[in-house]
A and B are shown apart, each in its own frame.
Chain A
Amino acid sequence: MRMIRDRLVACLLALGLMLAALPANAQSFQEGLEKFTTDSFGDTDDGITAVATSGHAQAGPVILALQEGRLAYDPASKRVFIKTASAVIDAATGQPAASVPADLKTVRLNNRVRRSIEAAIGGLNLLSPDAGKRLAAALAVFKSHEAAALPALNTAIGKEGEARIKRALEEARASVLIFKSDAPETDRLDAISTLRARGDQEALALLAGLPADAPANLKKSAQDAITSIQNNLAIWASVQNAWYGLSLGSVLLLAAIGLAITFGVMGVINMAHGEMVMIGAYVTFAVQETIRTYNPGLFDYSLLMAVPLAFLVSGAIGILIERSVIRFLYGRPLETLLATWGISLILQQAVRTMFGPTNREVGNPSWMSGAFEIGQITITYNRLWIIVFTIAVFVGLLALLRLTPIGLQMRAVTQNRSMASSMGIRTSSVDALTFGLGSGIAGIAGVALSQIDNVSPNLGQGYIIDSFLVVVFGGVGNLWGTLVGALSLGIANKFLEPFAGAVLGKIVILVMIILFIQKRPRGLFALKGRAVEA
């Protein structure tokens, strides 16, 4: 009796819906809903497909409710409801239910059903008016390559106006077609060429997954596509390596450029150079802490504030060291080396005492976080900014030495001290300023390196040997040599890494530099001269 009545109600309801919501598949929507009430995963799965492809206005809310576990049914009446925080809604109409049965049961999910839900949501979103949602849906289908999404995809491709999304949609369709053995062969061939044009790792994986029972010419075409993509990827991998190398090279340059002044121009072996970098990084930390405490809104400008501060702090410490220790040791390079090593120990321990031995957190401002893609490579903003920053520092330093009066005096003193002195240049204060400049630039480098490295008292130790090698490799007393040295070491290192591994690659580089210095003891761009040293 009751069953008959329910059926009757259902039929009436369906009829009503057909008249009301109409057009297409109210029938299939209703059938889909009923499938949810059987408490079988297989039926639920079918129900999702039926509802999703129905084009019914309620399809979206129903699928979403299902995903969130808010879809319930009454086993007796076979009606489906959506539970919300405030009310219970009749799934079929979208109106609050007039009477809610007592024993509502939630439609159960398993992983297979969840996958179908995701695909179905993808299919639903394909037609969304929001461009971002359409793109995301296309990408989701591309990932899942769910055959059920095909009709929706076809419709969406027909309607799509934006070229970027249309391409994503076509790629998604290709990803479905390639696995669909009952699709026409020409379509599948088109799918392969679409994927070939996409040309990335994911396309490669899809093509490699072509079913073994595919026709021969399809297989051949897929194979060609795979070869072409692999060649393409190899080229991109080199580009990526070159980019990483450039990035590492810029870091090395940044760390070494201050040393190129103190060691390269003045001839002072400053083993405390790394500590100047470390102090710059700690200045950044201190600036960020102050901003966090007093005015968090300025956080994005923290690095801009840290740069001049770090220059001043490190530069002042540099001048102090020059005045108190190094000036007594000019002409005794080995003693200078030992004394500055001692200073580096003192500075490290001082920072350890003040800030603690552990890593301190230095944040990325918003304009330095995130990444974007070019072709097949990802470029992070912090690396990009560091390269830009390095170029700026390099050019600025070059201009300072070439174009300003103090730069002229610095060059005069380093080239011929007694002559410069006779011309009325205060050589000792120029020495102090030059050393301060080199140290200050190390401090600026610390601001940049704090963005990509751990800020700890040992920060400088990691850079000191590399920096010396860069300066010696490039040729002492030559900023351009330092530039070429840093970039070539960075790039060589990154190209060796895939073959030799990170550590072995570094060892190989070290050994190569040692051998190189044997061959050309004065570096790549040695200053020409006839002097015989002592």
Chain B
Amino acid sequence: MIAGPLIRSLDRGATIFLTICAAATILIPALNLLTPESFFLHVPTYLVALFGKYVCYAILALSIDLIWGYCGILSLGHGAFFALGGYAMGMYLMRQIGTRGVYADPIRPDFMVFLNWPELPVYWYGFNYFAYAAVMILLVPGLLAFVFGWFAFRSRVTGVYLSIITQAMTFALTLAFFRNNFGFGGNNGLTDFKDILGFNVQAQATRASLFAASVIALAICFVICRAVVTSKFGKVLVAIRDAESRTRFLGYRVESYKLFVFTLSACMAGVAGALYVPQVGIINPSEFAPANSIEAVIWVAVGGRGTLTGAVLGAILVNYAKTTFTSGMLAPYWLFMLGAMFVLVTLFLPRGIIGTWRHWNAERQAKLSAAREDGAAVGEPTARPAE
């Protein structure tokens, strides 16, 4: 029933993308687990975790591309939804530690014992069940986005004003989560995880499975995004992006469209955060920092906004560059590079990598067909320009 429009929504690029996802899901864990370390294609475990991290960032970038690229909402607070999903997962992982913590308390996590909390706060209840945590991963960021968006879009806060208040939102959350008495571990955050669903988080097989799960989640999010943007609903979103007032005057309830897509995007960011936390082993309030959210926006800009695949490509490329540069001698220059990337991409590559490539392609196609028509007119129907 849903499958029909979903499949129809996939063009050639999307099919290639999904094929790559499927290959990565199978190949990378297989090369990690089944091949000996001496094998030249062997993927070491640290790389699996690193790729897993990139894939989570890619999901975050995808969620930003959905609202920025297709609806013109530039959120500078998407890191907040990412971190909230991460905290929900972190709370589940903390409850799984049980008596293996430093203070061996069966119920309370270590930091609560350390801070003399007499009992588990109510909002920590239920996080010992994975299903409950999984619901919260979607619900908490979604609810925050819904409430925030409901206020913001209804009163027609748009453009840079929206960007600034989303930034203020994530800044407020940073401050809040840094507080010890907020009940989320203060500035140390949540860490020292042991098990996920009964498997050791440090184990090689678990890491490979988490990677596979992340790629599958990326593929699912991508398909959902494709389905949204290729539907009639998606056309209205693009109309809102390009001329909001006109769309409103045509009779569309702009705020409902924006609210839906903003909430959906926040849920995706939450999922990304939840998959991110077990792979990096820690979640702390610095994830809320406004700088992180802006950095995520630049991934989308580099890859090409409004292209979906571009967001994924941008996230992976920029983060790969970051890993390469920050681990070597060039570490002091990374911020110069990142800063230059912000400036150069906005000035010279406003469409991003994928966007520019598609643009060239489209121009070439137009030239090709123009040439073909010219050729037909002269009477050489088989003439084809050389590739």
Contacts and interface: CB of A to CB of B under 8 A. Distances in A.
A516 B133 CA distance: 33
B161 A517 contact: yes
A413 to B, nearest CB: 20
Contacts, number: 124
A470 to B, nearest CB: 11
Contacts of B154: 518
A469 B332 contact: no
Interface stretch (A121-129, A231-239, A329-337, A491-499): A329-337
B301 interface: yes
A32 to B, nearest CB: 56
A468 B335 contact: no
A489 interface: no
Interface string A490-534: 000000000000011011001101110111010000000000111
Interface in B166-186: 167-169, 171-172, 175-176, 178-179
A503 B342 CA distance: 32
A349 B333 CA distance: 8
B230 interface: no
Contacts of A465: 167-168, 171, 290
Interface residues of A, number: 44
A352 B164 CA distance: 27
B163 A334 contact: yes
A343 B340 CA distance: 7
A346 B167 CA distance: 21
Nearest to B151: A518
Interface in A248-296: 269, 271
Given A342-B340, A514-B169, A521 B156 contact: yes
Contacts of B169: 510, 514
B369 to A, nearest CB: 32
Contact of A510 (B157, B172, B341): B172
A451 interface: no
A519 to B, nearest CB: 7
A433 B105 CA distance: 64
Given A325-B347, A506-B175, A342 B341 contact: yes
B346 A518 contact: no
A328 B342 contact: no
Contacts of A333: 159-160
Contacts of A507: 172, 175-176
Contacts of A269: 160, 163
B342 A339 contact: yes
B168 A513 contact: yes
B243 A534 contact: yes
9 contacts: A325-B343, A338-B342, A342-B298, A343-B339, A345-B336, A346-B343, A506-B175, A514-B169, A518-B152
Interface of A: 269, 271, 325, 328-329, 333-339, 341-346, 348-350, 352-353, 461, 465, 468-469, 472, 503-504, 506-507, 510-511, 513-515, 517-519, 521, 532-534
Among all A-B residue pairs, the 8 with the closest Cβ atoms: A342-B342, A345-B339, A346-B339, A349-B335, A510-B172, A342-B339, A518-B151, A339-B346
Given A338-B294, A342-B339, A353-B332, 10 more contacts: A271-B294, A329-B347, A338-B342, A343-B339, A345-B342, A461-B291, A503-B178, A504-B179, A518-B154, A521-B158
Interface of B: 74, 76, 148, 151-152, 154-161, 163-165, 167-169, 171-172, 175-176, 178-179, 243-245, 290-291, 294, 297-298, 301, 332-333, 335-336, 338-343, 345-347, 350
